[in-house]
Amino acid sequence: MPKLKTKKGAQKRFSLTKTGKVKRGKTGKRHILTKKSKKRKRNLSKSAMVDKTFERKIKRLLPYA
């Protein structure tokens, strides 16, 4: 069987934790930042976990992660 190719877009956006959960970055921290509070921008820079319903789909895109 041939090697599976990793979807590079998914590789750049998601990473797996040791327990097998999928970690993602939050949206909304690229532009239009002047109207957002410091607290909101600080919380946007933290990472979040992907919902369980999407985990299987994302893991399929990352066969060697």
Quote the pLDDT of residue 13.
97
Q: What is the pLDDT of residue 7?
A: 97
Task: Provide the whole-model pTM.
Answer: 0.86
In angstroms, the CA 11 to CA 60 distance is: 11
Could you read off the pLDDT tens digit of each residue along the chain, which spans 65 residues?
899 999 999 999 999 999 999 999 999 999 999 999 999 999 999 999 999 999 999 999 999 98
Say how many domains are in the chain.
Answer: 1
Structural contact between residues 10 and 62, judged by C-beta atoms closer than 8 angstroms: yes
Beta-strand relationship, 14-16 and 47-49? unpaired
The pLDDT of residue 55: 97
Q: What pLDDT is attached to residue 65?
A: 87
CATH for 44:
4.10.410.60
- In-domain check, residue 15: yes
Give the domain range for residue 28: 8-61
